[in-house]
Chain A
């Protein structure tokens, strides 16, 4: 059966330029990560520590959120809660309207992607401008990010050069990466200086101190959160950590896992709006805490591990499936292995359940995950949810159940629990192998790239019986 996703994946596999670009960048990211963890014992320790920090924070999530809220408010940061992306968008719009603002400059934020914020604000007459270089490229091309950390990784410099030349005809055509970056700098600088509102994501929220941490290299996150008079931060509710001491290990493992850097150029820890007598910084800081299905994921002790993610991207960088099909093929906000488990839980197995099939369960994702998320285990669990008969809390559970498939499995079970029948069938298959070979040759998905496996003349059961190997 050719499903929506299979078609999508086939299309993606046919995009050779995208595949080349993706693979090039991914190979670099893998190399950088490997070099960043030269000492296996140190990695094991740091990972254990980081995992414990996240598990601890998630286990106390409601209490930490309350503590965070109290401390943020005490510091003068306004806290808004949103159950859905609609509510979150509406909150942003209300803040914009309150300040009479029709333009917002944005730092990189996956949560704003999840909200579909740009489209929403556009329909309400508000213009959004992305300022992260990768996000800007994506916005200019009217596309979606294909990676969490490197949003435009599917584009090479030539494509970006053409894009910039189309969008900024005054700038001479160049394929020089630093010239392209300088063009973006010149274009955005004026907007940083004049934007009435800046919006960013958040990497960690510290409950103990009421602090928002933003991690970045370019300085656009700092610009968006410092230059405009109003700063809006959007975050999923799961990004909270208990205390300041939790930040160094998480920060270290995040940047090393993501790009191999010991630290990003900027770590921006925001604890309040501009204080009296201060000369810059926004006078109003808002934090929007988005649920959007996270509390439902939270309700299941096994699925809950999904929320430990610190969005480093290592799982996608090491995923052979992601490498081949690229981020867009997932048709989700977050691609790759973490997207494979997160998106069906958030948006329903009925529309995204087939994504859980996009895995060989090879375990490369879990192996590199800095917070030890057992992604293959959760994929397995979601495959079960997808086809199980009695419904369950994951929305869309049971939607993937197909009668024929269920019957095939029933027959398989019957065969496997009736050794007499099993042995007869396997024996017949091997003894009539000329016929079975011909049948096997018809399984076209297998044989497009592979020769038909030749059946031997007898089974292992028969051979060992012939050798008089003990039966019990």
Chain B
């Protein structure tokens, strides 16, 4: 049964009080490949006076298995994460696709399972990083960096599953010296798709080459995104072509430009 726009109806009291402590769910990709994005997220929160808890026993949200049809396997991994966030405080995920996995897909994954009820407690506390920074922390950023231009790639999950794609733009627009350039066909998928890139590498390649070209055409200095999967994909293609455009996660970019380097 279709619930109309069920994937899109995410209204939440955004004016909730500012929490003093949050959980960080770092995601496996950031853990292994982009740890500085996670570290930067912690710095950003702490600067706003928010204490961070990072359960060291966290691993992966289970998305790769879920998207591949391995539901039992996804369930086992998801269940292990579920227990790590007992306190009634927000859970921040610096990736829209992992946040979407928990928020949108956990309820389906745990359907008719004995722990189904506890899922909703977690689901309701999950925020994507840029969503949390804008809607809850309402951060005010002061740009300390040199003038630069950036191209943004918002992930498909940020756009169409979490509906938070505009948050990254509004954060970047707070930075005085940053000019944001919209690439052509910005809403089109970069071709990562998790295991898709491995299972259908030829199509994935065609897609990422087109995306990389659109980014290259912006002439921006950096590519910014809220999802490391897309960044690794597009950034990898840019690098392979010896492009001058480097890629960086929004958390790392924001922190780098807004904090005073330690003397």
A and B: direct contact (Cβ < 8 Å)? Answer: yes
Contact A364 B2 (CB under 8 A): no
Q: What are the residues of chain B within 8 A of A364 when measuring CB–CB?
A: 156, 160, 187-189
Contact A467 B67 (CB under 8 A): no
Q: What are the residues of chain A within 8 A of B36 when measuring CB–CB?
A: 456, 463
A367 within 8 A of B: yes
Q: Contacts A362-B193, A409-B65, A409-B73: A445 and B33 contacting too (C-beta < 8 A)?
A: no
Question: A-facing mask of B43-79, CB < 8 A → 1, else 0?
Answer: 0000000011111111110101111111101001100
Contact B69 A445 (CB under 8 A): no
A37 within 8 A of B: no
Contact B59 A422 (CB under 8 A): yes
- With A and B bound together, what is the CA distance between A160 and B198 in angstroms? 37
Contact A450 B236 (CB under 8 A): yes
Candidates B54, B70, B200, B207; contact of A357 at CB < 8 Å: B200
Specify the chain A residue showing the minimal Cβ separation from B80.
A417
Q: What are the residues of chain A within 8 A of B77 when measuring CB–CB?
A: 412-413, 416-417
Could you list some 20 contacts between A and B, CB below 8 A?
Answer: A51-B2, A320-B191, A360-B156, A362-B160, A374-B2, A377-B108, A383-B67, A387-B70, A445-B205, A446-B197, A447-B240, A449-B208, A451-B239, A459-B31, A460-B30, A460-B31, A464-B39, A464-B56, A469-B24, A470-B53
Candidates B59, B64, B209; contact of A419 at CB < 8 Å: B59
Question: B-facing mask of A2-29, CB < 8 A → 1, else 0?
Answer: 0000100110010000000000000000
A200 within 8 A of B: no
Contact A361 B67 (CB under 8 A): yes
Q: What are the residues of chain B within 8 A of A412 when measuring CB–CB?
A: 64-65, 73, 77
- Interface-lining segment among B3-11, B138-146, B172-180, B218-226: B3-11
A222 within 8 A of B: no
A437 to chain B, nearest CB (A): 12
A308 within 8 A of B: yes
- With A and B bound together, what is the CA distance between A463 and B41 in angstroms? 12
Contact B2 A471 (CB under 8 A): no
Candidates A360, A443, A448; contact of B205 at CB < 8 Å: A448
- With A and B bound together, what is the CA distance between A6 and B193 in angstroms? 16
Main secondary structure of the interface of A (DSSP, over half): helix
Q: What are the residues of chain B within 8 A of A384 when measuring CB–CB?
A: 69-71
Specify the chain A residue showing the minimal Cβ separation from B160.
A363
Q: Which of B165-220 contact A (CB under 8 A)?
A: 187-189, 191-194, 196-210
Candidates B4, B54, B59; contact of A416 at CB < 8 Å: B59
Given A462-B35, A470-B53: 17 more A-B contacts, CB < 8 Å: A321-B203, A357-B200, A361-B156, A363-B7, A366-B7, A372-B2, A412-B65, A412-B77, A413-B73, A426-B32, A446-B236, A449-B237, A450-B236, A451-B236, A469-B42, A469-B53, A471-B53
Specify the chain B residue showing the minimal Cβ separation from A371.
B2
Which 8 A/B pairs are nearest by Cβ-Cβ distance? Answer: A360-B193, A450-B236, A445-B201, A383-B69, A362-B189, A451-B239, A363-B160, A419-B57
A362 to chain B, nearest CB (A): 4
Q: What are the residues of chain A within 8 A of B206 when measuring CB–CB?
A: 13, 324
- With A and B bound together, what is the CA distance between A384 and B199 in angstroms? 15
Q: Contacts A47-B4, A320-B191, A464-B54: A449 and B240 contacting too (C-beta < 8 A)?
A: yes
Q: Which of A47-79 contact B (CB under 8 A)?
A: 47-48, 51-52, 55
The number of chain A residues with a CB under 8 A from chain B is: 81
Q: What are the residues of chain A within 8 A of B261 when measuring CB–CB?
A: none
A183 to chain B, nearest CB (A): 36
Contact A416 B60 (CB under 8 A): yes
Give the most central of A305, A456, A462: most B CB within 10 Å: A456
Q: What are the residues of chain A within 8 A of B187 when measuring CB–CB?
A: 364
A455 within 8 A of B: yes
Q: Contacts A51-B2, A305-B2: A13 and B202 contacting too (C-beta < 8 A)?
A: yes
A295 within 8 A of B: no
Candidates A357, A460, A472; contact of B35 at CB < 8 Å: A460
Specify the chain A residue showing the minimal Cβ separation from B36.
A456
